[in-house]
Structure 1
Amino acid sequence: MEKILIVDDSYLQAAQLKSILEDEYEITIAQTGEEGLRLASTNNYSLILLDVIMPGMDGFELLKKLQEEIITQSVPVILITSLSDAQNEQYGLVLGAVDYITKPFNALVVKARVNTHIKLYNYRRQVEYQSRTDQLTGIPNRRQHDRYSRTKWSEAARLQVPFSVCMLDIDYFKVYNDTFGHPAGDKVIAAVAKTVSSFVKRSTDFLARYGGEEFVAFMVGDNSRKAYEHFKKIRQAVEDLHIPHAPSKSQWVTVSIGGATIIPKLESSYDFHLKVADAMLYDAKKLGRNRVVWVNENMEKLIER
């Protein structure tokens, strides 16, 4: 059931709205702007109904704050007002509101507008999800990586915690495609993605398909030794799938992994360290593939034999 947040200092008015909508939606009521901001930032709402006139933080001020927060800026907001003049309506729309509901409430109008904006919100979410998800594997794509990596890099720099980034590549993949065909190659890519995803699933972890048979992953908070050992397990897990490879190259499908761990500074570059990880991947392949090569915080190499 879709969730709606009503922010209104008048409990009577909020209760009226709830009675109109509660048959179709899960309703939460907040009676102050501060409480509304807290609830909106910690719950997944599909729509916010917001009263304009409230003591303390009014509806316009709360709307500004909602638009500033990454978590809430995409959630549609319908303003509740008895003010019918065009100036207030225009101001609310400029701030980011999607619509107005005027008091006293007309149940049919309220339902129609709420239903419309929730449908539009879900459609936008679906389009956004598809734009940032790799269709073959179901994991984030390169576009999502490029967007999300910089956010997490900045957080790690601000908190001064280790940030580990790695590149992962399926060994002899062109030979596999030439031997077994592209449909079989697609199945291998999907199987590798599923296996790696099972190890990279904390809120501080991230995995994306970077392109072709190549993946990129990062972890926040673990030191280099822990990250290195973790990706050794991932490499072994892929080999343990025992997917037959072209006998001339390898018995099983395997992966090579290159990575780097650093405590980032605000002025340092994520892209540079991604290139370092890519260089470690190149070393892993040059040393015979099916291994992990890592560089630690002191720029010392850790090499799986």
Structure 2
Amino acid sequence: MNDKLPAPPPAAVPAETPPRRAQLLVVDDQPINIRLIHQIFSGDHDVFMATSGEQALAFCRKSPPDLVLLDVLMPDLSGLEVCRALKQSPETAAIPVIFVTALDNPDEEAACWDAGAVDFITKPINAQTTRNRVRAHLTLKYQSDILRRLAWIDGLTGVPNRRQFDERLAHEWRRCRREQVPLSAAVIDIDHFKAFNDNYGHLAGDDCLRRVALAIQSALSRPGDFVARTGGEEFTCVLPDADAAGAWGIGQRILQAVAALGIEHARGDRPHVSVSVGVATADAAPGPDVDALLARADAALYAAKHRGRGQVVADGS
């Protein structure tokens, strides 16, 4: 249930559909209907199939498609239930769902709209109409993704910005409380960054920020780990399911990744750019809120600075 980090945004919003092959998920308990839609789209798109609602939800959570073509009437889990589940999860809410249905009752159609559908395709399927509607919604999805990235990505470094960080942290906090698993945070600050800027200039400073951001990202090897730029030279990592020892180990990997860049820093404590890291963990038991977790990580970062920088300090150590 974890989000993937978005790619850096393009320079402009294209007017055309995306150049890559879109991924479509066709969900129907009747194989003949799946084969028909596969014939329509397999030449232009990557088409995946699910024959039950549970299969569809599992696929979308693991590898979110660009669009779902969903039958309404299915045994066990109906198309309406599948659509509602997709829309209730932040990881899958943006996936457009087109219902493929023979329903013609206004109340039933209203239920589909209320569940979160973007369109209908009626049975028996008209191939040209189906292509046109799917193409239109793929274009809208592509452009919406770009606008979302522009709003949620730090323009300088390409990593998520504070707005996305706040949403992601709140989501992970709720999930970890619900599932009774730990959540850790790591606050990272580039050591003597003002002195670096003063000595090498702001263009070099911007390049340093970009390279450090990518180094931090490279040190986060678990799928759920997440880094955002939360201040001028400050980055914060959200580390779901990481206990105190695990968070400290991730902090050490971040130190090593930044050191490996070898960025010269003639006015620092060390010959190359370094970072200080403060980590804190909220265990599975109910306790203080997420702001308290960040405050503890900030206090640990202050301790790392006070003790000489270029190191990881865990809350309470």
Gaps of 5+ in 1: none
Q: How does 1:171-210 map to 2 (within 5 A)?
A: 171-210=191-230
Superposed displacement of residue 119, structure 1 = 1.4
CA contact (8 A) 2:220 2:250 kept: no
After superposition, the Cα gap between the structure-2 partners of 1:37 and 1:213, relative to the gap in structure 1 and judged at 3 Å, is closer
Q: Determine the C-alpha separation between the residues in 2 that align with 1:239 and 1:15.
A: 53
Q: Determine the C-alpha separation between the residues in 1 that align with 2:84 and 2:256.
A: 50
Q: Which structure: larger Rg?
A: 1
Equivalent of residue 110 in structure 1, options 101, 107, 130: 130
SS in 2 for 1:168: strand
The one-letter code sitting in structure 1 at the alignment partner of 2:89 is E
Percent of aligned positions with the same letter in both sequences? 37
Match of 2:95 in 1: 75
After superposition, the Cα gap between the structure-2 partners of 1:229 and 1:83, relative to the gap in structure 1 and judged at 3 Å, is closer
Q: How does 1:1-305 map to 2 (within 5 A)?
A: 1-247=21-267, 251-295=271-315, 299=316, 301=317
Q: CA RMSD in A?
A: 2.6
Give the length in aligned residue pairs: 297
Gaps of 5+ in 2: 1-20
After superposition, the Cα gap between the structure-2 partners of 1:25 and 1:275, relative to the gap in structure 1 and judged at 3 Å, is same
Q: Determine the C-alpha separation between the residues in 1 that align with 2:94 and 2:268.
A: 52
Tell me the TM-score normalised to structure 2 length: 0.82
Superposed displacement of residue 62, structure 1 = 3.1
CA contact (8 A) 2:29 2:52 kept: yes
After superposition, the Cα gap between the structure-2 partners of 1:117 and 1:283, relative to the gap in structure 1 and judged at 3 Å, is same
Q: Determine the C-alpha separation between the residues in 2 that align with 1:108 and 1:26.
A: 18
SS in 1 for 2:276: strand
CA contact (8 A) 1:153 1:264 kept: no
CA contact (8 A) 1:199 1:234 kept: yes
Q: Determine the C-alpha separation between the residues in 2 that align with 1:234 and 1:38.
A: 32
Q: Determine the C-alpha separation between the residues in 1 that align with 2:267 and 2:284.
A: 43
Q: In the TM superposition, what whole-angstrom CA distance separates every residue of 1:194-253 from its partner, at most 9, and x where no partner exists?
A: 222221221242222112101112334444345335424532443453322244765332
CA contact (8 A) 2:217 2:227 kept: yes
- The structure with higher relative contact order (CA 8 Å, sep 6+) is 2
SS in 2 for 1:276: helix
